[in-house]
Amino acid sequence: MQPIDLVFRFGGESGEGVISCGEIFAQAAARAGREIYTVRTFPAEIRGGHAVYQVRVGDDLLLSQGDRVDVLVAFNGEGYEKGLPDLRPGGILVCDGDQVTPDPSFDGTAYPIPFTTLARDQVGSLRAKNMVVLGAVAELFDLPREVLFSLVAQRFARKGEEAQEANRRALEAGAAYVRDHVTKQDPYRIGTGPHTGRVVLSGNEAVALGALAAGLTFFAGYPITPASDIMENLVRWLPQVGGRLVQAEDEIAALAMVLGASFGGARAMTATSGPGLSLMVELLGLASAAELPAVVVDVQRAGPSTGMPTKEEQGDLNLAVWGAHGEGPRIVLGATSVADAFQTTVQAFDLAERYQCPVIVLSDQFLGFRKASVAPPPVDEIRPSYRILARRNGAYRRFQLTESGISPAAVPGMVGLQHVITGLEHDEFGRPAYDPARRTQMMAKRARKMALAAQEPGMTRRWGHPEPVLGVLGWGSQEGVIREAVARANREGYRVAALHTRMLWPLPHGEIRAFLRQVKAVLVPEVNFSGQFANLLRTQFTIEPHRLTKSDGLPFRPVDIYEKIKEVYPDGR
């Protein structure tokens, strides 16, 4: 058993099964005891367009998809052409020999294999091509055969014996061709690794599991890429623990249902993407004013407008933080990795209930769809709080002015605590009241909740040099990439540290301030056009950060950030 770190990319026409080929490959590698980290892109069109699935297989904790591709698996000419620029010099190409002839100048190792012919002639179906590819790649890179075959059998268990048989034949056709006609010319093999007992999850799966573990009892949502599968998982799970899920008529109805359920005492949540969050703005304000717990997950995608539904962007931070007419309490969290997506979702419910306000969780396309091998989430240790409840004791004041700003709640059905909640400004009893003094008190009461939330512990993570000259401030799904870039910079002698902020609003002032005090210069890398997090930081801290932004629909590579660190590094190492 030998430590490895290899990046495989599968590329081809959407509809050819590129994605499922890559997914099975990744999961099989994880079952074989390797760490995996995948990235997935596909076109928004149902048919047509270029699909890519990238899998990094390794033994260290994998923090990013890596900088370059080691093995390019090209299903067709487009997969070859679009993939080539990212293939490392001397890299390995596995391609459909029926469709691709590598350029004479290609300097790596090429394994052309007639995938199309094999599928057509030996399996009798062009649709089996992706399984042929899988069989060949597994054979070529020594992915344990039993693991692969049993995984495929398990995944297609419901498809019937005939389909199972076709799959086996296809895998075997690929493998046999490699055994019989290909001479291995590279040293790479997956074999088996030490990391057994891992689970392979996508960010969206981690969110759904986190919600379930946090005690979710009600979900309403409206389908939207790339968030739909959170609902699609929960609808299978929730009824099995007595919860309820409604596919709403739109996002406004979805959040409205969530607020109704929350008023009724449920732990309630919805999940959407940018266009849906835009539609929820008015009701988010209602939740702030009426002091209702609610969790809203936004799996961001590239905007503006419909934008690029299947592409990456951290473009909704502005909206999540500032998207409200008037001002009311709201918490915004950023999920940073697959493992963290679970934890952050759990925390979102905890904070929503404790502070009685909406909590927005920002995930994104890249995090939502990529799979990683992670330690099994600690589902049995989770005990999120529930909103503090009132006792019957004189006339009930739902919006009682307290020192913390948090007022004991009452849920319909509780005897004698009838009251009205409203989005109108109100007095302690919930009655509409506009006089300046009371209004000022109510605004201050709600704001006190946020001041308290800003002190929640553990809302940043820090790593890198203990006495840094340059500080990298990041958020959300770019955590791993930043971490990898910082580690590399540290190895190269740069005194760099990173602080990753998990609570984006209110900002954890104490921890950020302490970090800023240590560093001479600040770099804020984020996947959006203007540097939204940099702007947000500037509203609270007097800094002039270097910005590293991009909005081309792709996440950062570690090297992007590493190069920028070198560029902006304040003085010699």
Name the residues that contact ligand TPP, by CB under 6 A: 222-224, 251, 275-276, 279, 306
The reply to whether 224 sits near other proteins by the rule CB under 8 A is yes
> Of 325 and 517, which has the nearer Cβ to other proteins?
325
> Of 97 and 265, which has the nearer Cβ to other proteins?
265
Number of residues in the chain: 573
The reply to whether 274 sits near a second copy by the rule CB under 8 A is yes
Q: How far is the CB of 329 from a second copy (least distance, A)?
A: 9
Binding-residue total with a second copy (CB under 8 A): 67
Q: Which of 1, 2, 46, 544 binds other proteins (CB under 8 A)?
A: 46
The reply to whether 306 sits near other proteins by the rule CB under 8 A is yes
Please list every residue from 391 through 420 that binds a second copy, using CB under 8 A: none
Distance CA(122)–CA(12), nearest Å, equals 21
**CB-based contact 148:174 (threshold 8 Å):** no
Number of Cβ within 10 Å of residue 571's Cβ equals 9
The reply to whether 447 sits near a second copy by the rule CB under 8 A is yes
Q: How far is the CB of 224 from ligand TPP (least distance, A)?
A: 4
Please list every residue from 362 through 421 that binds other proteins, using CB under 8 A: 376-377, 379-380, 410-421
Number of Cβ within 10 Å of residue 400's Cβ equals 14
The reply to whether 304 sits near a second copy by the rule CB under 8 A is yes
What angle, 0 to 180 degrees and rounded to 10, lies between the N-to-C axes of helices 145-155 and 129-140? 160
Six-digit token pair at 367? 């995090």
∠ at Cα 377 (375, 381), nearest 5°?
130
| SS3 state at 302 | strand
Q: How far is the CB of 159 from ligand TPP (least distance, A)?
A: 25
Distance CA(327)–CA(177), nearest Å, equals 65
Partner that binds at residue 281, options other proteins, a second copy, ligand TPP, none, CB closer than 5 to 8 Å by kind: a second copy
Partner that binds at residue 197, options ligand TPP, a second copy, other proteins, none, CB closer than 5 to 8 Å by kind: other proteins
Please list every residue from 314 through 343 that binds a second copy, using CB under 8 A: 315-316, 318-319, 321-328
The reply to whether 215 sits near other proteins by the rule CB under 8 A is yes
Does residue 358 have a cis peptide bond before it, meaning omega lies within 30 degrees of 0? no
Pairing of β 371-374 and β 199-202: antiparallel
Q: Mind giving me the DSSP string for 337-378? A: SHHHHHHHHHHHHHHHHHHTSEEEEEEEHHHHH-EEEEPPP-
Q: How far is the CB of 543 from a second copy (least distance, A)?
A: 8
Give me Rg for the CA atoms of the chain: 26
Per-residue binding letters, 360-389, with a second copy (x by CB under 8 A): ------------------------------
Q: How far is the CB of 544 from ligand TPP (least distance, A)?
A: 37
> Of 124 and 223, which has the nearer Cβ to other proteins?
223
Q: Which of 118, 33, 18 is nearest to 9 (CA)?
A: 18
Q: Which of 85, 242, 326, 466 binds other proteins (CB under 8 A)?
A: 242
> Of 315 and 384, which has the nearer Cβ to a second copy?
315
The reply to whether 194 sits near other proteins by the rule CB under 8 A is no
Please list every residue from 88 through 117 that binds other proteins, using CB under 8 A: none
Distance CA(379)–CA(212), nearest Å, equals 9
Partner that binds at residue 302, options a second copy, other proteins, ligand TPP, none, CB closer than 5 to 8 Å by kind: a second copy
Distance CA(549)–CA(526), nearest Å, equals 5
Number of Cβ within 10 Å of residue 427's Cβ equals 18
Q: How far is the CB of 410 from a second copy (least distance, A)?
A: 20
> Of 410 and 473, which has the nearer Cβ to other proteins?
410
Contacts of 341 (CB under 8 A, 6+ apart): 203, 204, 206, 207, 210, 335, 363, 367
Q: How far is the CB of 341 from ligand TPP (least distance, A)?
A: 21
CA dihedral 67, 70, 74, 78 (to 10 degrees): 40
CA dihedral 307, 313, 314, 318 (to 10 degrees): -20
Q: Which of 125, 306, 385, 455 binds a second copy (CB under 8 A)?
A: 306
**CB-based contact 248:254 (threshold 8 Å):** yes
> Of 197 and 457, which has the nearer Cβ to other proteins?
197
The reply to whether 323 sits near other proteins by the rule CB under 8 A is no
Beta bridge partners of 246: 220
CA dihedral 74, 76, 82, 86 (to 10 degrees): 10
The reply to whether 520 sits near other proteins by the rule CB under 8 A is no
> Of 105 and 305, which has the nearer Cβ to other proteins?
305
Residues of this chain that interact with a second copy (CB under 8 A) are 43-45, 273-275, 277-279, 281-282, 285-286, 288-290, 300, 302-308, 310-311, 313, 315-316, 318-319, 321-328, 422-425, 432, 434, 436-437, 439-440, 443, 447, 528-530, 532, 535-536, 538-539, 542-544, 550-554
